[in-house]
Structures are given as structure tokens and as C-alpha cells.
Structure 1
């Protein structure tokens, strides 16, 4: 699998789970790469038509090692988005008095990149989970998300995406959907990225999200060695749900725009 278009990475980093998944998910086009045994730093061309031309930075591995690569790389401008291991800015402040832009400003957000690589144990409520397919199923998913997670980042109808819902009535009944999970699978055989995971606020804390996510994880593991997702670091309720299904934090990140 090509890890990033534009550069040739050593096997240590070309096979790293985060690199394999994120490069396929975001179609990375790299202009430069720096690495050692402990870290990888990529300068990525921004390709989104909605954004001005420029570059983003993505760091993988140990935070202090990524900080050393940033200093070794020299001038980085122009840089827009950055995603680096949490603690990279603190490490830069320890290593130099002249922290390069844009790392001389606080991060805009902190989030965790999580992965699950084993089949979850059966959870209560899985008998209420079904895959949502066809125009009718996707319309139901969209309507449920409008209540459960209106700001979900994965859009219903995204090419190659799959969707599951948790129904009020078990056993094939047509009760209302109270929970939804989507899976983004833009590149065949690449690890799935789960997104737009939401539960109707009136039905939370009943295991709805855990049951629905567990079903999606099993489906994803049938196509790739692991399944991933990203979550804001301060979302303790979501963390408990994902850990229950078997997700672990593979890299804690800090990002800026």
C-alpha cells in the first residue's frame, strides 16, 4: 500500500497504522518527509478546492522526536493545518527559545486517534442493530443523525460509506432509530474510519452507541486488520463507550489551523 504520494517512506513508517489509515482517508500528497527511528514528519500539500494553496504538517511518533524533526527541517512556512503528537509544542519550548511558526501559538484542539484490532465481545442491545441500506435506510440514518449528532463529520451518502442504526424495537421491528454509526471506506481494503456516531439525547447511557459501534467494528475487521476513529480528548463519555468496544489510543494529537 502506498503510504503517501510524493515521497518514499521507509517500511517502519510506511506500515505504521496511523500513516496507512490517514493517508488513504485524506489522500495525502507529500512534498517533503523527515524521519528517524522515533518520529515521522510530513509536509502535505493542501488539495481541498475550498482552501487556499499551501501546506500542512503531520507528525507521527514520539512528541519530543517530532519536535527535533521540526527544528531540523528548517523554515516551514507557509503552513496552515498541523497535526502532531500531543506535547510537541511543550517539547519545542524545552528545546529552543525560538519556537518556529506556527508552533509558537497554542494548539486549537486536542484529539485522540483510536484503533481497535480485535473482535469485540457481544454487547447487550446488538439484536436491535441493523445495517441501513438503500434510499430508505439512508434517509432514516440522515433523519436520526439530525437529532443524535447534527454536526457529524461523515455525511450520509458518502461514496463507499456504510451505516448502522439501533432501533427502539428488537427483532426486525420498525421502531424509530435511536442511534447511528457510519463507516468511511474511501479506499478498498484500507482500514475503516468510523464517524458520525450519535445517540438520541433521550436514549443515552443505555449502551446504544456501544452496541451499534461493536457491530460496525466487526464488519470493518472483516475487510481490514483494524478499525479507527478520532475523538476530542475531553469527551469522556465517548471514551468510555469506545474503550468498552475495544478501542485504544494509538496517538494523542494536538492540531491547529
Structure 2
């Protein structure tokens, strides 16, 4: 008799997903290999997902929904599953980010996660815990779905010029990342400003931070460090950081001039000319 790996569906979103996948597959009278053939993957992958050894993707979930006539069950579950793969200290922020009406963020070293290409994100996340890379990458890409909603949040990003020059993943990855940033020029709910080196000292020398506003809840300030994040709704902190952010916006290049600088760096630093 096969050794059945028993799951506690209450243990985590991933455990629930795996147990539900197994239950519905067995109800349909399909073996793992048979379901794999239908959804264009191996039976081994089906088994790994059912036993939580692999994290499913959104594409996989949509195919399984269709194959098992699951009425969107797995497509609804996948958001929770992927969010659970984020570092535990970051999960509260991701939940709030998904509900925010306005997100204003200053990024000192890296492109904001909502605007990262998959290759750029892979390079950033691959620095540590490579065994969790695929799951963390899928979770980061899932976060970006908030910008594709019918009514997305207003996103305002002030990006330090240093982030344009920090070569993450190599020249080709950086060129594609900067090109991706330029694609947001025509998004009505996204504004991107670059804070140039020429500004010198400024209101965010302590590091990156984010302000989130909600329709019916208090504003939230978020700042992260190496292994933890700090969320607060303290009115005094919100007031001080809001004033600081307004000063950053005033000192940064306009969105139009920021786009021109991004395009210039993309060509001059990461262009296809020979750098040998």
C-alpha cells in the first residue's frame, strides 16, 4: 500500500491547498499522473504540491480549477498560499498593502517590489535562502496583482538615484528593469519620481519607508530592517513622515524628468554598446 502523507488542512494555507487538491483529484477518480497530463505537468509535481513539498503557482491553480471543475477554488486559495510564503514579519505589511487606497513609498537602494521585473526580483531574493527562492519569487509577483485590479491603489514612488546605478542581476536585467519602470509613465494611478544625488542630505536619510492610506482605517507607516518590519498608526509618526515625504516629492525630479533620467541611465550604463 502506498505511504500516504497525511496533512492537517488547518496547519497552513499551503496544507489546506494540498489536502483540497488531493480530495478533489480523488473525487474525480484521477491518479496524480492523469491529472498531471491534463494540466501539463508531471504526476510527481502533483504529488509534491499535495504534500506541501512544492508551492503551486497561479497558472497551475487556474489549470487545476478547469481540470477539476473546481469553480475557482484554487485560484482563490493561491493568493493566501503565496502570501504565506513571505517572511512572517512581512506578511502583515503585504495584507495591508493589498487593502490600501494610497501607497506612498521612498526607496533608498532598490526598485519597489511592486515595480520589479521577475528577473530583478529573482536576483534580489536569491541573495539569501535560495531554497525558498521560487516560493518567495512567486509571492512577490503575486503582490503586483494589486496594480492590475479594476480599481488599483494610487501608487507614488520616490526612488533614490542610487537604485538606478546599483547593478542587480547584471546589465541586461537592469536594462530591462529600467525599461519596465518607463512603462508606468502612462499608468494613471502610478507616479514615479527620482531623487537625484544633487539633493544631498534629505528627509529620508534614515532609509526606505512607506505610508499607506485606507478608505475607512487609520493611516499606517511602515519601515523595514534586516529581519523585521515595523508598522505603526501613531499619529505623530504619520504626521512627521507625511511632511518628510512631501519634502522628498518637492526635491525629487518631476515624473517627466525622472523618466528622462531613467532612460538616459538605461542607455548610457546598461546599453548594448561594447564595455570591454
Normalization by structure 1: what TM-score? 0.21
Structure number with greater CO (CA < 8 Å, separation at least 6) is: 1
The two structures have a TM-score, normalised by structure 2, of: 0.20
Higher helix share: 2
Structure with the largest fraction of strand: 1
